[in-house]
Amino acid sequence: MSDTKTDTAPQLIVSAAPHLKTTDSVEKIMYSVVVALLPALAGAVYYFGLQALWITGIAVVTAVATEAAIQKFRKVRITALDGSAIVTGILLAFNVPPSVPWWIPVVGTFFAIAIGKHVFGGLGLNPMNPALLGRAFLMASWPVLMTTGWSAPTGGTTSGVAAVTSATPLMAVKAAMRDLALGVNVEQSRAVVESAGTAKAYFSLFVGSVGGCIGETSALLLLVGAAYLFYKKYINYRIPLSYIGTVAILGWIFGGEGLFTGDFMFHILAGGLVLGAFFMATDMVTCPSSPLGQWIFGFGCGLLTIVIRLVGGYPEGVSYSILLMNLVTPLLDRYTKPKVFGA
Amino acid sequence: MQRTLVQEFTKGIGSENPIFRLVLGLCPTLAVTTSLLNGLGMGLAATFVLLCSNTIVALIKGIVPPKIRIPIYIVVIATFVSITEMVMAAYTPDLHKALGIFVPLIVVNCIILGRAEAFAGKNSVIRSLIDGLGMGAGFTVALCTLAAIREILGDGKLLGYPVMGQSFEPVLLMILPAGGFFVMGLLMGALKLKDLRAAARKRAQAIAET
């Protein structure tokens, strides 16, 4: 970031090793993530109407304003436009239902930036993903608003969201599985579970025409963005692969009525797994930096997600599992540190 | 340099506040401060016990064998806690129920044992009495501050009366345990920041003078 350029160019730079320089900077990486999130945002506007754009816009503006205000208060250099606050704002908006009141993204983003990031010292020092912490705060504070604001996607209307409240696929299937286990509403519940396993249902989950949080529904558009980040080498395959792989395998083994009958495609595509695995578990600050640590991190996230989805009280567990694994990241880094070459 | 009696009282509220400065007795602090009434009740109960135990410990300090002083202090404290609990159960049953286990647990509250050990066992009766009063007041003030913030944000009420207007959606987290930690941490951080900035100003002044 801080080039030692002076007015008297060109100069000979003599410095200690390493001599390899990268052209990456916080701005470059963060704005690439913003670009990678745009397809999913476009999808959200298509499915949920301008409300999705409005919520995301509010979250981004709040994030940048909070960052600037706190940096001014802390008397440090103001870097509110380096992109990291924008990413936090977008990710937080992606994690709330489309028809929440306007102040939900404001309070959530403020909490994410102020408590999730600056209390610990700002960018790079936060132990947990700020956007997910903001979501956890919203979930604990306004559980009703955060779990009932689903609107059925209206596909193509830009006039706004149809005020239809529908459950997310994960909620519907979880309720049906519980009914099956209790032996009530058997026929209806079995129909729900079976319809979730059809090619048509997979297709809706893949393109995103289902109820859910603003940015999590469309696996396709999220993958397009993730592909861009892979191309730029800002994320690698280890965490997404081990995370999604663990969810798929455990979902297949334990997700059904008997062993090895679970619907693993459903567990991969439904809920926030794709968003979480590619964009939030891979956050450079809060995931391990050693390759083995990343494998373990992904596995832990997957294990916790499946445990919460199948036996926990919530229908979806992606955000909590990533937050919990964030907390063991320093430990993972410590025990998986590669040996120094030659030592 | 010995403190005056007034300083002996005010240190408990300010510079040696048991919660914000000494960071003692956090368990009841975080657990019962979900409403101002609970905070106030807990604060007053602890103040009463502290006042009595400090006085008695200062009175008997000459005849307590040093090796078994802690069990003796505990017996003294437990006596007053039992009195407090029975009085509360008889006259304020609702508050007694709301505070639950935390009233008997005043026995092992580290503020009370800490003052007996660190102060009353070494100082005169009148100083110990004033110290107990000051520490109790500091504890009560801290509890009430925390409880008021949490009740207003988490419930939209103060002492049970709505204060935030119709459209306010209570921040449920604030009356959950996590909210106690957040408010506590932020208040301590704010006090620390005030100290740091005051120290920085002092340093700058000293440099300017030389």
Backbone angles phi, psi at B162, to 5 degrees: -60, 130
Of A273, A265, A289, nearest to A322 by C-alpha is A273
* Distance separating alpha carbons of residues B34 and B150, to the nearest angstrom: 6
- Asked if A61 has any chain B CB less than 8 Å from its own CB, the reply is no
* Distance separating alpha carbons of residues A188 and A214, to the nearest angstrom: 28
What is the rounded average pLDDT of the residues A275-287?
93
From chain B, pick out residues whose CB is under 8 angstroms from the CB of A115: 182
Structure-token match 């300017």, residue found:
B208
Backbone angles phi, psi at A226, to 5 degrees: -65, -35
pLDDT band at A37 (very low <50, low <70, confident <90, very high): very high
From chain B, pick out residues whose CB is under 8 angstroms from the CB of A140: 172-173, 176, 178
From chain B, pick out residues whose CB is under 8 angstroms from the CB of A137: 173
Residue A313 is predicted with a pLDDT of: 81
> Across-strand partners of B162?
B157
* Distance separating alpha carbons of residues B42 and B28, to the nearest angstrom: 8
- Asked if A114 has any chain B CB less than 8 Å from its own CB, the reply is no
Residue A194 is predicted with a pLDDT of: 80
From chain A, pick out residues whose CB is under 8 angstroms from the CB of B169: 142, 145
Which of B167, B172, B201 is the best residue to mutate to test the A interface, defined by the most A CB atoms within 10 Å of its own CB? B172
What is the rounded average pLDDT of the residues A223-229?
94
pTM higher than the cut 0.90 = no
- Asked if A142 has any chain B CB less than 8 Å from its own CB, the reply is yes
Which residue does chain B place closest to A145, by CA atoms?
A: B169
Annotate chain A with three-state secondary structure: CCCCCCCCCCCCCCCCCCCCCCCCCHHHHHHHHHHHHHHHHHHHHHHHCHHHHHHHHHHHHHHHHHHHHHHHHCCCCCCCCCCHHHHHHHHHHHCCCCCCCCHHHHHHHHHHHHCCCHHHCCCCCCCCCHHHHHHHHHHHHCHHHHHHCCCCCCCCCCCCCCCCCCCCHHHHHHHHHHHHHHCCCHHHHHHHHHHHCCHHHHHHHHHCCCCCCCCCCCHHHHHHHHHHHHHCCCCCCHHHHHHHHHHHHHHHHHCCCCCCCCCHHHHHHCCCHHHHHHHHCCCCCCCCCCHHHHHHHHHHHHHHHHHHHHHCCCCCCHHHHHHHHHHHHHHHHHHCCCCCCCC
Q: Looking at the predicted structure, is the pLDDT value of residue A10 above 80?
A: no
Cross-chain residue pair A137–B172, CB shorter than 8 Å: no
- Asked if A320 has any chain B CB less than 8 Å from its own CB, the reply is no
Calculate ∠ Cα B14-B20-B23, nearest 5°: 125
Residue A153 is predicted with a pLDDT of: 67
DSSP secondary structure code for residue B161 in this structure = E
What is the rounded average pLDDT of the residues B31-38?
90
Q: Looking at the predicted structure, is the pLDDT value of residue A216 above 50?
A: yes
Radius of gyration for chain A, computed over Cα atoms and rounded to the nearest angstrom: 21
Cross-chain residue pair A141–B182, CB shorter than 8 Å: no
* HSE, side-chain direction, 13 A CA sphere, residue B173: 19
From chain B, pick out residues whose CB is under 8 angstroms from the CB of A142: 169, 171-172
From chain A, pick out residues whose CB is under 8 angstroms from the CB of B173: 137, 140-141
Backbone angles phi, psi at A7, to 5 degrees: -70, -30
Which residue does chain B place closest to A75, by CA atoms?
A: B197
What is the rounded average pLDDT of the residues A126-150?
89
* Distance separating alpha carbons of residues A287 and A322, to the nearest angstrom: 9
How many other C-beta atoms lie within 10 A of the C-beta of residue A19?
7
Residue A166 is predicted with a pLDDT of: 59
Residue A11 is predicted with a pLDDT of: 64
Residue A199 is predicted with a pLDDT of: 83
State the count of interchain CB pairs (< 8 A) between A and B.
18
| Range in A246-250, A267-271, A275-279, B138-142 the model is least confident about | A267-271
What is the tens place of the pLDDT at every residue in B131-172? Answer: 999 999 999 999 999 999 999 998 888 888 888 877 888 888
Cross-chain residue pair A115–B169, CB shorter than 8 Å: no
CB under 8 Å to B9, separation ≥6 — which residues?
Answer: B130, B131, B133, B134, B137
Q: Looking at the predicted structure, is the pLDDT value of residue A278 above 80?
A: yes
From chain A, pick out residues whose CB is under 8 angstroms from the CB of B150: none
Cross-chain residue pair B169–A142, CB shorter than 8 Å: yes
Residue A152 is predicted with a pLDDT of: 65
Residue A277 is predicted with a pLDDT of: 94
Q: Looking at the predicted structure, is the pLDDT value of residue A6 above 70?
A: no
Output the CA torsion sign for B108, B111, B115, B117.
positive
Residue A202 is predicted with a pLDDT of: 87
Cross-chain residue pair B178–A119, CB shorter than 8 Å: no
Residue A205 is predicted with a pLDDT of: 86
Which residue does chain B place closest to A74, by CA atoms?
A: B193
* Distance separating alpha carbons of residues A262 and A249, to the nearest angstrom: 9
Q: How far is A142 from chain B (nearest CA, A)?
A: 6
- Asked if A111 has any chain B CB less than 8 Å from its own CB, the reply is no
The residue type of B174 is M
- Asked if A148 has any chain B CB less than 8 Å from its own CB, the reply is no
Residue A13 is predicted with a pLDDT of: 67
Q: Looking at the predicted structure, is the pLDDT value of residue B84 above 90?
A: yes
What is the rounded average pLDDT of the residues B189-197?
90
Token reading at A43? 């999808």
Q: How far is B155 from chain A (nearest CA, A)?
A: 11
Cross-chain residue pair B169–A143, CB shorter than 8 Å: no
Mean pLDDT over all residues of chain B? Answer: 90
Give this complex's ipTM: 0.85
pLDDT band at B83 (very low <50, low <70, confident <90, very high): very high
Residue A145 is predicted with a pLDDT of: 86
* Distance separating alpha carbons of residues A86 and A34, to the nearest angstrom: 7
The residue type of A25 is S
Cross-chain residue pair A143–B172, CB shorter than 8 Å: yes
DSSP secondary structure code for residue B104 in this structure = G
The partner residue sitting opposite A140, judged by closest CB among B169, B176, B185, is: B176
What is the Cα A277 distance to its own chain's centre? 7
Q: Looking at the predicted structure, is the pLDDT value of residue A246 above 70?
A: yes
What is the tens place of the pLDDT at every residue in A139-198? Answer: 999 988 888 767 666 554 433 344 445 578 888 888 888 888 888 888 888 888 887 878
